[in-house]
Structure 1
Amino acid sequence: MLSQDELALLDAIRTTGSLSRAAAALGKAPSTISHAARQLETRYDALLFDRRRYRLQLTPAGVLLAEEAQRLMADMTRLNTRVKQVASGWEDRLTIVTDELLELASFFPLIADFDKLASGVGLRFTHEVLGGTWEALREGRADLVIGATNEPPAIPGLRWFELGRLDWVFAMSPRHPLARAEEPLSRDLVRAHRAVVVADTSRGASARSYGVQGGQAQLAVPGMAEKVRAQVEGLGVGWLPRHRVSGLIARGELVEKRTADPREPNTLYVAWRGDHAGRALTWWTERLQQPRLAKRVVDGVPIA
């Protein structure tokens, strides 16, 4: 590893192209700079400085040394910062997994508030669907899950609270045959038409879909935005979060229909492993327990 003085020497020679100017820039005698340069070459047993030309330049080996040394020094500086950060109780990184039911945009104000802490903690957001959300926490792929559905499973050290309730609406394109059907829609009538579903991201055998009749044809899509768009385009029917499609229903791009088997609202959970709680995780869980903020996250941003 090069010292700061040696890095400064390499940079001064590269930028000035002169031993005397490099010495002046560093506030040292030219003989001192020349001696330091030769010591570097001796240490690496390589020609680092091209002295054959009018301008003193770094050889390709010298350029490589300078660039890599700068990178290593920057890495060491970041490492020192991260070590101090973790020693003071902040995590190095916080991985937050949200269920696809929630929109990432609804977290942007929270992220902006967290940034004001200047904690140095890196945030990583990912989406999972249904069982995949709990699975991410169980398998250690998440430090915090937000918007998980179903009852909290048995996970060692699990801590959780309710974030809010999500209301559903059964909807389809006004061009879809069910849009003209008499209400309430019977189970058999719904089963006769393809459902659009967001695929469960659980890796296990427990992967499932909700709001789908047994034997009903399915079109599986990767996310809620794609599900909404597919239903707007008349490619299928299904249950959608009411808050996210209220504008589409008001404009007539989707039609809401009552069914003989209404879907109950989903309780959404925030959960984490209590044995892994650092200052960043504590900040997020405390903020998400504020009723007004929790409602904003659950309501999200309506799809235009």
Structure 2
Amino acid sequence: MLDQETIRSFIKVAECQSFSRAAELLHKTTATISYRIKTLEESIGTQLFIRTTRSVNLTPAGEYLLERCRQWHNWLDSMPDELRQINDGVEHQVNIVINNLLYSPVTVARLLAYLQQRYPFTQFHISRQVYMGVWDALLNEDCHLAIGAAGNESLENGINVLPLGKIEWVFAIAPHHPLANTEEPLVEDQLRLYPAINVEDTARHLAKRIAWLLSGQHEIKVPDLHTKLECHLRGVGIGFLPRALCQPYLNNGELVQKIPHRPRHQSALSLAWSSHRSGEVVKSIIALFQTGDPLIQGFISPLE
């Protein structure tokens, strides 16, 4: 019913809106093309074209079939190369999760451009998660590779880790905030008076972690680090920011660093991947991190 020649004929008639023009381009007779389309319509019991003396237009069913046929036709053309790639150990799809602390749109785009050139038939899916949400995606959501998994130890057998470095945290507030001129170190009773600005852990199956929150302190949850930064700049609340993110604002005086009685420890982050689900694509990404390739420096630069 839908062999490759029928698909090609249907697509060409739809594009040309003419049986004769389609036949000319396909080097067939008009009668041959008309017969193919008529046979197709009869076999599925649905009219695909509205024919007049001047034009040939698709019905709604024809529009739907055209979209599907184009997808199928393109896949038939690329199928031999895709199958060879699979036999060579190259994954059909690779899902990558990135910690929001390391996420860089520019670096992501550069990495995808590199991977797409080397593995043109692999589908890529990039997601961004917070705290334990990174591990959650790797362990429970069919993710192949995690950039910035918390800690330097694996949470499960069969998961390999490569330590990447540590995030340094700075207690940074706006210069007009009431705490800006308070004597250091700042004690908890002083800090508890002001809201903590936090990005919520995105874990769904694992226990969520709270970045920093004192007992009895009001919390404001925001969706990402840049919103958190803007809240700090406007004196909306307090908390810790990654050194790499806030240093320019400390340098120009838009933020000031204060020393709390209990500083926040550095956060170790790692590259993590499943040893059972690592094909050629995942191995090539791991190699970029192992060699410190400039391509992935945007992920590494926030780390010490």
Cα deviation per residue 1:128-151 (whole Å; 9 max; x = unaligned)? 211221122121342111112235
Amino acid at match of 1:91: E
Gap regions ≥5 residues in structure 1? none
In structure 2, relative to structure 1, the CA distance for the partners of 1:200 and 1:69 (3 Å cut) is closer
Which whole-Å CA distance do the structure 1 matches of 2:30 and 2:297 have between them?
68
CA drift at 1:70 = 3.6
Which whole-Å CA distance do the structure 2 matches of 1:185 and 1:162 have between them?
32
Give the alignment's TM-score, normalised by structure 1: 0.83
The equivalences for 1:127-142 within 5 A come to 127-142=128-143
Contact 2:154 2:160 in 1 (8 A): no
Contact 1:196 1:230 in 2 (8 A): yes
In structure 2, relative to structure 1, the CA distance for the partners of 1:32 and 1:156 (3 Å cut) is same
In structure 2, relative to structure 1, the CA distance for the partners of 1:158 and 1:100 (3 Å cut) is same
Larger Cα-atom Rg: 1
In structure 2, relative to structure 1, the CA distance for the partners of 1:194 and 1:13 (3 Å cut) is closer
Give the alignment's TM-score, normalised by structure 2: 0.83
Residue 299 of structure 2 is aligned to residue 297 of structure 1 = yes
Contact 1:231 1:237 in 2 (8 A): yes
The equivalences for 1:206-221 within 5 A come to 206-221=207-222
Contact 1:137 1:145 in 2 (8 A): yes
Contact 2:9 2:33 in 1 (8 A): yes
Amino acid at match of 2:300: V
In structure 2, relative to structure 1, the CA distance for the partners of 1:158 and 1:178 (3 Å cut) is same
In structure 2, relative to structure 1, the CA distance for the partners of 1:213 and 1:33 (3 Å cut) is closer
Contact 1:196 1:219 in 2 (8 A): yes
Which whole-Å CA distance do the structure 2 matches of 1:194 and 1:284 have between them?
40
Which whole-Å CA distance do the structure 2 matches of 1:63 and 1:277 have between them?
42
Which whole-Å CA distance do the structure 1 matches of 2:213 and 2:260 have between them?
13
Amino acid at match of 1:263: R
Q: Percent identity?
A: 29
CA drift at 1:87 = 2.7
- How many correspondences in the alignment? 300
Which whole-Å CA distance do the structure 2 matches of 1:290 and 1:44 have between them?
57
Which whole-Å CA distance do the structure 2 matches of 1:280 and 1:109 have between them?
15
Which whole-Å CA distance do the structure 2 matches of 1:62 and 1:202 have between them?
43
- Aligned twin of 2:96: 96
- Aligned twin of 2:122: 121
In structure 2, relative to structure 1, the CA distance for the partners of 1:31 and 1:203 (3 Å cut) is closer
The equivalences for 1:1-304 within 5 A come to 1-14=1-14, 21-33=21-33, 35-44=35-44, 53-55=52-54, 57=56, 60=59, 63-64=62-63, 68-77=68-77, 82-105=82-105, 106-204=107-205, 206-291=207-292, 293=294, 296-300=298-302
SS of the residue corresponding to residue 282 of structure 2 reads helix
CA drift at 1:237 = 0.8
CA drift at 1:103 = 2.2
